[in-house]
Structure 1
């Protein structure tokens, strides 16, 4: 492929170089993976081997992977052969900056307006500079970027051959949208995908309270949304649930399923150990990170034995998942098991390990996923029930308000969102298995269980940050930068995973070579013979064994909670009384390119620094013949007459008229490019830290969450 094309071009003049489709794909991949400097180095030293850079940029801009802010790419779903998919949603911090998009003649980087939960596309447009100043001064630049990812569910038997996540939409936000906005947006995505022949099975997010509330409302999980009636939707799933399953709280009819991202759940559980306000006890057993610190300081053990460092038990970055994995390693738990007085910590770490096993570990079998997920749920129910009973007994002896009693319970328990997330994930996991078992979904759905999370969003954020210049230390982006970079990544993934002829080879990370550990579809035949009731009873027995040393069961037995049915009925009543949500809403309500390194090309091909007396193209635009009134001329004053470095010109190409504002500077008619207008209006250069920890802390400080 490569040599044949090169030999052909060596016999031609440079103006007659031709390139095959495979070489064009190779060139785009080289540019995306290596950057501008790498691409030019190869092209200059191997003449005729790859096309010039403008040709590559033109190929990228003309691809079917173009993305516009706030626009959902539902038409692109036709590339996936499967009729089922899973969606995820997440936000990340961006550099607040307004920029002009010449392809849509709109300004992006503002906070996108949300109407009925749906973001508006091409909302910020202006024909005059005065109009733009009003828009700029009355709207905030977005400090967050919201993205939606689509994960197709493979129906093939090969577990390693599943489509990669696909970016549906991206837009700037300010975190002021509500749970109902989220739910309306999910309904819009669901119905739009359905129109394209794709049935969305469910959604996943990062366990944020707003998303958790939306999930509870949609699934009727101790919440009600009477004016939506999602359970009566014609496309709602319907499964058979035995009446004696008192431990199962999810309704039989569900329009779509939900999974809180398990990585975030694990970090939330670990962070609870670090809380200064929490004093965790499970029964009489204390749960404390101090037990880990004692292990590290114990001279009898070395790092070879446990693999821990002090930064693992006192992490500055509380979203660090790898430190959580080190805390729950078999070596650590085995050493702690041999110690006295730390049963509570061992149980807590065991629960964390079960969460990883149930939702994250790719090699876990289906019955082990169910058993691990529900064992965690039952331990939490036992734990919470004992706290409720103890608190009720004490409050009857001393005068306590309801809030004081709740705060007392919360002090000894995991956070309420973390508990609800564990409950909902276990219920939705089992519901998904029942859908497959009852032939509503293909069995290959269960091969992809580890993909039903919001990690595709996190992965896209990391990949987009990695596309900065080779010699640049800046890893952050504006909204426009992200859209441009994600377009490149989409093209790269299309070439990498949707090749029919396999004419390009890509390196595979050594960690990804273990995909053969995934269960194949013939191993899923066990689903038909799976005894769910017995599996749940085994999980309950395992939960009892975990907490039997804590004297927690003694408290429950004193209050006649002696079996699974007693426990389930009690928890159901507590949740139904104290945690029920009701919502009566309806479905609708009436220029600093150097900052990112020299590798970032300017996509606005009509932005060129022309001399003030130079005509653009051969057809100048005559201001005297323009049918625009004087009222449309914005007046600017300047002590300068020469505006080198800014796109302010005397004449423009009529084809590019919409990209310019007509202004009058010192009584002379000029044309100001809209990107230069953005620079002219900006008063300060806002930045975002390259350090992820500082970036997260900055977001938390700015938005108080």
Structure 2
């Protein structure tokens, strides 16, 4: 959505950040609580901005922007992910509903996307007058979300149902239903709190494992005191410690067993939740003219079509070397040894560095077959991975050199930054 080279289409409307920018310009901040930095963030991993643009206030305010239904659906997908996997207040049966609502939305969307040709998608984009004229897509895939995101929605939604079935069968304890404890934001929050425990005059942002464990212990004591007093049914005057409460933290969220569900889970409840999600997804698809009410495929038919479509998708697994590749660890091992040796050497002049690079290039071009054994230098490669390799002429033979191997060859040392911020901006005084 925030990409400048991709424009997603859902039916006859486009998903664009311009709708949010128009909302910020035309509406008061009190209605949506958004600023421009939330819509166009420099940090794409800023979860707070993601939480704000997918909030219920922003979602309701966006209804006043014309032709923004596709953007609303996409933001609803993000909001459903938050409610299903991150929020601590969501009941487990509601988690299944939000997760499977996303599954059916994406399935309907992807089925329509595969049946529509690129020329038809280009025609729909040209009819969207609110899209910038300089935004055009070169491939059909740029009109849809990435395949890893598609698989992530499918896998995590099935996992929620699988965990629920294991709990119903008493093969797992009920504590496993607290899936909000396993998201990455909890870990990131602990690291932020540990870094914030440094003094105001300290510029050190990194610390050792021992220091981290000590800070985590302090956080554990503070949290235990805080929540013990908040869970105490006595008056505030009887509490031993009183902590000031920020207005954003006014709601105390309890992550006990009764957070996940007020009643025991049953298979009938899960089936009803999934059927309700399917019904709501069909209504959303009709609003963007992906399907007419009489043309919507049945649940079984949609699942069959989706299974065939997922089988056709190909995702490259870079963790497993291909047939043409040998063991990749030798590059990094040799690189570490060279970096350790170069750490104790003095830096050379610029002219010497240029000569070293030229000599290194000549050595690569004149290397024998046994010299680059263990490195990613091949006679032939997969055409789909051609962008990851350089073409070299070694001893009159055409070879393919992996770009990471080239970087390792041309690197003389490993620059490291100090954990002290002040030392990072200090310049070396040359005598």
Q: TM-score with structure 1 length normalisation?
A: 0.39
- Determine if the alignment matches structure 1 residue 294 to structure 2 residue 25: no
Say if 1:304 and 1:408 are closer, same or farther in 2 by CA, change over 3 A: same
The unaligned stretches of length 5 or more in structure 2 are: 122-136, 230-239, 322-326, 328-412, 423-431
| Matching residue of 1:535 | 273
Residues of 2 paired with 1:364 and 1:535: CA distance?
14
Contact kept? 2:96, 2:157, Cα under 8 Å:
yes
Residues of 1 paired with 2:186 and 2:94: CA distance?
24
Residues of 2 paired with 1:358 and 1:416: CA distance?
20
Residues of 2 paired with 1:534 and 1:450: CA distance?
23
- Determine if the alignment matches structure 1 residue 312 to structure 2 residue 38: yes
- Determine if the alignment matches structure 1 residue 409 to structure 2 residue 140: yes
- Determine if the alignment matches structure 1 residue 368 to structure 2 residue 94: yes
Residues of 2 paired with 1:686 and 1:522: CA distance?
44
- Determine if the alignment matches structure 1 residue 578 to structure 2 residue 313: yes
| Matching residue of 1:283 | 11
| Matching residue of 1:550 | 288
Residues of 2 paired with 1:325 and 1:489: CA distance?
28
* 1:454 counterpart (184, 196, 199): 184
Residues of 2 paired with 1:376 and 1:562: CA distance?
17
Contact kept? 2:9, 2:70, Cα under 8 Å:
yes
Residues of 1 paired with 2:96 and 2:270: CA distance?
9
* 1:442 counterpart (162, 168, 173): 173
Q: Deviations over 1:582-640 (max 9, x none)?
A: 8989xxx9xxxxxxxxxxxxxxxxxxxxxxxxxxxxxxxxxxxxxxxxxxxxxxxxxxx
How far the C-alpha of 1:488 sits from its partner, in A, is 0.8
Contact kept? 2:175, 2:257, Cα under 8 Å:
no
How many residue pairs match? The answer is 303
| Matching residue of 2:117 | 391
Higher Cα Rg, which structure: 1
How far the C-alpha of 1:540 sits from its partner, in A, is 0.7
Q: TM-score with structure 2 length normalisation?
A: 0.61
Residues of 2 paired with 1:575 and 1:683: CA distance?
42
SS at 1:553 equivalent:
coil
- Determine if the alignment matches structure 1 residue 568 to structure 2 residue 303: yes
SS at 1:286 equivalent:
strand
1:486-635 equivalences in 2 (<5 Å): 486-492=212-218, 495=221, 507=243, 510=246, 511=249, 514-516=252-254, 520=258, 523-528=261-266, 530-554=268-292, 557=295, 562-579=297-314
Contact kept? 2:32, 2:57, Cα under 8 Å:
yes
How far the C-alpha of 1:317 sits from its partner, in A, is 1.7
How far the C-alpha of 1:517 sits from its partner, in A, is 8.1
How far the C-alpha of 1:332 sits from its partner, in A, is 2.2
How far the C-alpha of 1:344 sits from its partner, in A, is 0.7
| Matching residue of 2:66 | 340
Say if 1:341 and 1:519 are closer, same or farther in 2 by CA, change over 3 A: farther
| Matching residue of 1:418 | 149
* 1:485 counterpart (205, 211, 217): 211
Residues of 2 paired with 1:414 and 1:342: CA distance?
18
Which protein has the bigger strand share?
1
Contact kept? 1:282, 1:344, Cα under 8 Å:
yes
SS at 2:266 equivalent:
helix
Residues of 1 paired with 2:5 and 2:218: CA distance?
47
How far the C-alpha of 1:454 sits from its partner, in A, is 2.1
Q: Deviations over 1:29-69 (max 9, x none)?
A: xxxxxxxxxxxxxxxxxxxxxxxxxxxxxxxxxxxxxxxxx
Contact kept? 2:105, 2:285, Cα under 8 Å:
yes
Residues of 1 paired with 2:71 and 2:14: CA distance?
7
Contact kept? 2:91, 2:260, Cα under 8 Å:
no
Residues of 2 paired with 1:684 and 1:394: CA distance?
51
Residues of 1 paired with 2:421 and 2:114: CA distance?
45
| Matching residue of 1:466 | 196
How far the C-alpha of 1:516 sits from its partner, in A, is 4.2
Two-structure CA RMSD over aligned residues (Å):
3.8
- Determine if the alignment matches structure 1 residue 274 to structure 2 residue 12: no
Say if 1:354 and 1:279 are closer, same or farther in 2 by CA, change over 3 A: same
Contact kept? 2:96, 2:160, Cα under 8 Å:
yes
Say if 1:528 and 1:439 are closer, same or farther in 2 by CA, change over 3 A: same
Contact kept? 1:291, 1:342, Cα under 8 Å:
yes
Residues of 2 paired with 1:554 and 1:415: CA distance?
26
